[in-house]
Amino acid sequence: MVVLGCFGCYNNNLVQLPAQRDVIRKSAALTNHMRANAHSGVILCNVDVVFCCLPQDHHQLRHESFTGFYIMAKTFEHVKAAIQSLHKNTTSEEKVNFYNSWAENYDQDVVVLEYRAPSVAANTVSSHFSGDRDAAVVLDVACGTGEVARQMKSHGFGHFVGIDGSEAMLKVARESGLYQELKQCMMGEEPLPAQWDSFDVVVITGALSVGHVPITVVRELCRSTKPGGYVCMTTRSNHDNLDYKADLERELKQMEEEGLWNCIEATEVENWEKAVSNQEDGYISGVVYLYKKRQQ
Ligand SMILES: C[S@@+](CC[C@H](N)C(=O)[O-])C[C@H]1O[C@@H](n2cnc3c(N)ncnc32)[C@H](O)[C@@H]1O
């Protein structure tokens, strides 16, 4: 029997099958192949069983004869410990280094966290956007590994430009093949590398929060959007982010009063993701904001 361990899970010691490790090692070439082709459909030959911590459709595996797909659950406690170490990083350099080291595991860890920001944002944009989705250009700010583009693609959008501070996150995004263009930028320290008035939709998820992207960047998101275009943003509503959230909402309102945009939707969403701080249990809530830039 040939057993294949998903490259990401195997590399991170998630696939721990003492009796079968040799077999898994032997299939390393295949696992590389699988990683290179993740999300684009992989046909496996001579593999009986695949072990991964994600569902089969994550890799879009197809094989006529393989007999089993086993999901190896990475425990929530494992992911929680990793994220708590992120919150200990204070300088932007430390944060980016953290994301550089998290990039390979990010997609599987956010499944464990039941992190919903990218799908909530994509649904929100989709329910208001009435233009030509094929022609629309989406700017995905703090794009990470590409979750927002993946979700928006499922709603018919097809043209994505991504920006992020972490080279390793950008590498995973590049390998996804979803983006026409990807740029590295530390937001708040450097100007956003995006032309003014040029994007139909600008989205930022999972990055407008304490210690990540500063609130001043919100004006740059608005400037990059075409008149009549949408800006979709998310933030967390949990304890350690409440001050940031209040400052963010003050700035969003101030920009509306200045005539820059109109608020279309600001929706509090329960069960945003699992709580990872020691002060909170269960799920935390979050907010999705949708603004429409005014026609000048
Ligand atoms: C939690 S991930 C979110 C990624 C993606 N948007 C998603 O929802 O899956 C946060 C991302 O923001 C990026 N980031 C955080 N602060 C940043 C900053 N100041 N400038 C650029 N990127 C930043 C990190 O590198 C990371 O990829």
How do the domains of the chain map onto residue ranges?
Answer: 3-71, 83-293
So what's the pLDDT on residue 77? 82
So what's the pLDDT on residue 6? 56
Distance 70 CA to ligand 1 centre (A): 31
Q: Which residues of 244-273 are buried (b: 16+ CB within 10 A; e: fewer)?
A: bbeebbeebeebeeeebbeebbeeebeebb
Average pLDDT, rounded, for the chain: 83
Q: What percent of the chain has pLDDT over 70?
A: 74
Tell me the helix, strand and coil percentages in the chain, rounded to 5: 40, 25, 35
DSSP structural state of residue 87: H
- Indicate which atom in ligand 1 lies nearest the CA of residue 186: 20
Distance 148 CA to ligand 1 centre (A): 12
So what's the pLDDT on residue 103? 93
Q: With 0-12 CB in 10 A as exposed, 13-18 as middle and 19+ as buried, what is 200? A: buried
Residue 20 pLDDT grade (very low, low, confident, very high; cuts 50, 70, 90): very low
Q: How many CB atoms lie within 10 A of CB 9?
A: 23
| Pocket of ligand 1, beta carbon within 6 A | 92, 95-96, 99, 117-118, 142-144, 147-148, 164-166, 169, 186-188, 205-207, 212-213
Q: Which range is least confidently modeled, 9-23, 66-80, 176-190?
A: 9-23
Q: With 0-12 CB in 10 A as exposed, 13-18 as middle and 19+ as buried, what is 15? A: buried
So what's the pLDDT on residue 31? 45
Residue nearest to atom 12 of ligand 1 (CA): 142
pLDDT in tens, 126-156: 999 999 999 999 999 999 999 999 999 999 9
Q: What angle do CA 237, 243, 244 make, to 5 degrees?
A: 75
pLDDT in tens, 26-64: 333 344 434 444 433 444 445 555 555 555 555 445 444
Residue 81 pLDDT grade (very low, low, confident, very high; cuts 50, 70, 90): confident
Q: Report the run of H or E that residue 244 belongs to, with start and end.
A: helix 242-257
pLDDT in tens, 176-221: 999 999 999 999 999 999 999 999 999 999 999 998 999 999 999 9
CATH assignment, 83-293: 3.40.50.150
Residue 1 pLDDT grade (very low, low, confident, very high; cuts 50, 70, 90): low
Residue nearest to atom 16 of ligand 1 (CA): 212
Which tokens in the block code for residue 185? 């930028």
pTM (2 d.p.): 0.79
So what's the pLDDT on residue 61? 52
- Indicate which atom in ligand 1 lies nearest the CA of residue 99: 25
Q: Which range is least confidently modeled, 67-76, 117-126, 259-268?
A: 67-76
So what's the pLDDT on residue 160? 98
Report, as an integer, the average pLDDT of 259-266: 98
Task: List, edge to edge, every strand of the sheet that includes 68-71.
Answer: 3-5, 49-52, 68-71
Distance 72 CA to ligand 1 centre (A): 27
Residue 85 pLDDT grade (very low, low, confident, very high; cuts 50, 70, 90): confident
More confident residue, 229 or 73: 229
Pocket residue to mutate for ligand 1, from 91, 213, 288, most atoms within 8 A of Cβ = 213
Residue nearest to atom 10 of ligand 1 (CA): 207
Report, as an integer, the average pLDDT of 66-85: 67
So what's the pLDDT on residue 262? 98
Q: What angle do CA 54, 101, 221 make, to 5 degrees?
A: 90
Distance 208 CA to ligand 1 centre (A): 8
Pocket residue to mutate for ligand 1, from 124, 185, 212, 233, most atoms within 8 A of Cβ = 212
pLDDT in tens, 91-118: 878 888 889 989 988 998 898 899 999 9
